[in-house]
Structure 1
Amino acid sequence: MSSSRGGVQPLMRAAELEKMSLEQLKAVKEQADIEVNLLQDSLNNIRTATGRLEVASTALHDLSLRPQGKKMLVPLTASLYVPGTLDDADNVLVDIGTGYFVEKTMAEGKDYCDRKINLLKSNFDQLIEVASKKKTVADEAGAILQAKLKQLSPSS
């Protein structure tokens, strides 16, 4: 009853759920709910990262339009800017993660952002599909659990 990753099978059939005991149904529902929540967190993280890369891509485009020697504000952090002068708009430093930066041409920097955005969007679409299947399993297990509990309770 578990997938290769140790979680709930995404395509668990209702007939299989019907055969389970109350304890097993509760465990399946709880596990599926946990997995849905984790997938939702991952989706939110991907959304945030995609947004940051889109902002970076737009910034690269704006930077490429500015003339050399142009005075501008340079971001040191998300909320701290210092005055500076554009010295070389043809080469940029690209943050490739965990504090590592690589010097690239403007075109290579834009290409890097576009490739990362496409990768994240592809991962997002795949996670949406998995989360939807997990949610279906959780909902089916919950409905069957409720029906079984209702059968066990004395009629009033």
Structure 2
Amino acid sequence: MAQISATEQPHMKQIDLKQLNIPQLSQLKQQLDQELNLFQESLASLKVAQTKFQTSSETLQNFSPDSEGSEILVPLTGSMYVPGKLVDTNNVIIDIGTRYYVEKDIPAAKDYFQRKIEFVTEQMEKIQYLGLEKSKIRDAIVEIVEMKLAQQQQS
């Protein structure tokens, strides 16, 4: 699939949109619509991940040496919990992805989640920027199509 960008890139060829015919412009618009939908889906997935990391980080705020021995509900799945008791409030086991878990002390776990939140946020910002750029190109294409259709009606 060809890339479409408003900014000049060394590996890309620049095309004057006014030189394209209406079917070509429609195909280009359709491609941009697909890319924008993909960006929206990616943003939604990243937002879910960001929320999970933030929730995990906030949960760590509740851990203290005073909470040792407290009864809690331990999540086994998204909807199934079992009763448990806090034994070691200085260390936690965190999911680092693809069924890998690692034991970390509370400050290291907080740092891990903070770094993940920052990384996901950066990725979201990049996607939002690209989406805005593609949206501007899409709007320009729509404007040119309308202009060409108006010219066809006049002649």
Determine if the TM-score, normalized by the shorter chain, exceeds 0.5. yes
Mapped to 1, the partners of 2:113 and 2:62 lie a distance apart of 14
The Cα shift of 1:65 comes to 6.1
Question: Residues 40-74 of structure 1, C-alpha deviation per residue, up to 9 Å, x if partnerless?
Answer: 11111111110111000011111236521111111
Aligned partner of 1:125: which letter? E
Aligned partner of 1:8: which letter? I
Unaligned runs of 5+ in 2: 9-14
Question: Which position in structure 2 is the counterpart of 1:60?
Answer: 60
**Given the two structures, how large is their TM-score scaled by the length of structure 1?**
0.87
Question: Which position in structure 2 is the counterpart of 1:112?
Answer: 112
Computed over aligned residues only, the root mean square deviation of the Cα atoms, in angstroms, reads 1.9
Secondary structure of the residue aligned to 2:62 is helix
Secondary structure of the residue aligned to 1:62 is coil
After superposition, residues 69-88 of structure 1 pair within 5 angstroms as 69-88=69-88
Question: Which position in structure 2 is the counterpart of 1:133?
Answer: 133
Mapped to 1, the partners of 2:41 and 2:123 lie a distance apart of 13
Question: Residues 82-102 of structure 1, C-alpha deviation per residue, up to 9 Å, x if partnerless?
Answer: 111101111111111111111
The Cα shift of 1:23 comes to 2.0
Question: Which position in structure 2 is the counterpart of 1:153?
Answer: 153
1:95 aligns with 2:91: no
Aligned partner of 1:23: which letter? P
- Contact in 2 for aligned 1:10/1:130 (Cα 8 Å): no
- Contact in 2 for aligned 1:11/1:137 (Cα 8 Å): no
Query: Relative to structure 1, is the Cα distance of residues 68 and 149 closer, same or farther in structure 2, using a 3 angstrom cutoff?
Result: same
Question: Which position in structure 2 is the counterpart of 1:8?
Answer: 4
Q: What's the % identity of the aligned pairs?
A: 35
The Cα shift of 1:29 comes to 0.9
The Cα shift of 1:117 comes to 0.1
Aligned partner of 2:3: which letter? G
Aligned partner of 2:7: which letter? L
Secondary structure of the residue aligned to 1:63 is coil
Aligned partner of 2:5: which letter? Q
Query: Relative to structure 1, is the Cα distance of residues 65 and 150 closer, same or farther in structure 2, using a 3 angstrom cutoff?
Result: farther
Aligned partner of 1:48: which letter? V
Question: Residues 78-132 of structure 1, C-alpha deviation per residue, up to 9 Å, x if partnerless?
Answer: 2211111101111111111111111111111111000000011111111111100
**Given the two structures, how large is their TM-score scaled by the length of structure 2?**
0.88
Unaligned runs of 5+ in 1: none
